[in-house]
Amino acid sequence: MPAIPLMIPDLPPAAAVLPYLERIDAAKWYTNFGPLVKEFEAQLLVQLAPGREDIRLVTTSNATVAIEMALQALHLPRGARVLVPGLTFVATGTSVIRAGHEPVMSDVDADSWLLTPAIASRALAATRIDAVLPVATFGCPQDVDQWRAWSEQTGVPVLIDAAGAFGNQPVGPVPVVFSLHATKSLGIGEGGFVVSDDADFIERIRRLSNFGIGANHGEVDEAGTNGKMSEYHAAVGLAALPRWQAKREVRLSLQAGYRLALQQHAPTVMWQDKPEGIPTILVVAMPSGVDAGAIASRLATRGIETRRWYCPPLFEHRAFAGCDAAGPLDVSRDIAGRLLGLPFHLHLQIDDVSTVCSELGAAIDDEQSHHTSPAALDFVSLPAKTAVHRPRRAARRG
């Protein structure tokens, strides 16, 4: 294991899960919408939409299948064109294809790194779009009220992939999918859920998650899949929820620690412009012209594990080679080349944060001076020097 690992999943210990496992033993009900799944769904709703009787929620086996089922439940025409951001996890795109539709690649906003309603409007003016699947990129929340207004204006349905954004992403006006994968903010191993104010939509997904079998005599009107959450996963979820608030506090203070340390040691990195939230992962962008891959290799030699999340961007995977783009993808490509996920987990000490940031700052300085070509060196030796030359800060490399 590296000296400073990228992530350490934090799931409830066996002792916290045990009482729920004993309830499963007693009830002998293991899956198919059992009592623990129902209780977990109710508690998630309390957490996400307290006092909102109109909001419904259905748990699933994971977020990828949840997106596939939610797309199916939208009843789009076969081969519908679904706008997806170029900068996202592959599952956003694979689920569109597996639902029988075509992903259409969209660029993202340069500051928030999100596919926004304004970008979707430009796409819609340029090409046919039958649905939009915006992503809460790296936990940055999508504006559900804006998307509702956009959807009402255009008649184009919107489904939000907020897989990694539990704790940040508001719910209600448009359907939202969350993941409960071990690496996400509320991890239970494998799991997911969909939230919406449309009760019929949620019931359709619930049926689809059980092969399409409806309440009426097991008859199947529409072919579904097996996308249910088991009682065992709900047991972990019920044990995880009470611990979530405390984890949230730790993550917030770690994030604050990172902000300070980066300002001090690596002031040229860019943050995703987003409201304060609970990051599950912490991603920054290298300054323009600095290749994140080189920085990652250098940090690895120092025992610091990083990851270039969402790289390569969606449209560079062979699985999506034939997909249309709604316009240029320059921002997605640029951010993908520069972004780097830094170590972020509940076992990280504040000293580790300083080490990561000072090593990062030193690596960026080195990379920038390496890339100064001989011609440029001549240039910096001219009087303009002070504006261009960045002194190497050897002291940082200790």
**Would you tell me which residues interact with ligand PLP (CB under 6 A)?**
62-64, 88-89, 91-92, 135, 161, 163-164, 179, 181, 192
The answer to whether residues 396 and 362 touch, using CB atoms and an 8 Å cutoff, is: yes
Q: To the nearest whole angstrom, how small is the minimum distance from the Cβ of residue 108 to ligand PLP?
A: 12
Q: What is the DSSP letter of 232?
A: H
The answer to whether residues 65 and 195 touch, using CB atoms and an 8 Å cutoff, is: no
| Nearest residue (CB) to ligand PLP, 182 versus 380 | 182
| Nearest residue (CB) to ligand PLP, 265 versus 274 | 274
Alpha helices in 51-186 (DSSP H): 63-73, 90-98, 117-126, 144-154
Burial 247-267 (b: 16+ CB within 10 A, else e): beeebeebbebbeebbeebbe
Q: What angle do CA 386, 390, 396 make, to 5 degrees?
A: 140
Closest-CA residue to 360 (of 335, 375, 377, 340): 340
For the question of residue 184 being annotated catalytic, the response is yes
What is the Cα–Cα distance from 342 to 298, expressed in whole angstroms?
13
The answer to whether residues 95 and 88 touch, using CB atoms and an 8 Å cutoff, is: no
Exposed/middle/buried for 180, CB within 10 Å: 0-12, 13-18, 19+?
A: buried
| Nearest residue (CB) to ligand PLP, 95 versus 358 | 95
Q: To the nearest whole angstrom, how small is the minimum distance from the Cβ of residue 22 to ligand PLP?
A: 27
Q: To the nearest whole angstrom, how small is the minimum distance from the Cβ of residue 190 to ligand PLP?
A: 7
Q: To the nearest whole angstrom, how small is the minimum distance from the Cβ of residue 384 to ligand PLP?
A: 44
Strand order in the sheet with 282-285: 270-271, 282-285, 339-342
Q: To the nearest whole angstrom, how small is the minimum distance from the Cβ of residue 93 to ligand PLP?
A: 9
150 three-state secondary structure: helix
40 three-state secondary structure: helix
CA dihedral for 38, 198, 51, 114, sign (positive or negative): positive
Q: To the nearest whole angstrom, how small is the minimum distance from the Cβ of residue 101 to ligand PLP?
A: 16
**What backbone phi and psi angles, to 5 degrees, belong to 130?**
-100, -20
Closest-CA residue to 115 (of 145, 151, 140): 140
| Nearest residue (CB) to ligand PLP, 224 versus 361 | 224
| Nearest residue (CB) to ligand PLP, 64 versus 168 | 64
Instruction: Please pick, among 28, 38, 184, 274, the residue that the annotation labels catalytic.
Output: 184
What is the Cα–Cα distance from 387 to 365, expressed in whole angstroms?
15
| Nearest residue (CB) to ligand PLP, 101 versus 298 | 101
Amino acid at 42: A
| Nearest residue (CB) to ligand PLP, 180 versus 353 | 180
Strand order in the sheet with 160-161: 56-60, 192-196, 176-179, 160-161
| Nearest residue (CB) to ligand PLP, 316 versus 380 | 316
Omega before residue 312 within 30° of 0, cis: yes
Q: To the nearest whole angstrom, how small is the minimum distance from the Cβ of residue 109 to ligand PLP?
A: 16
Known catalytic residues are 184
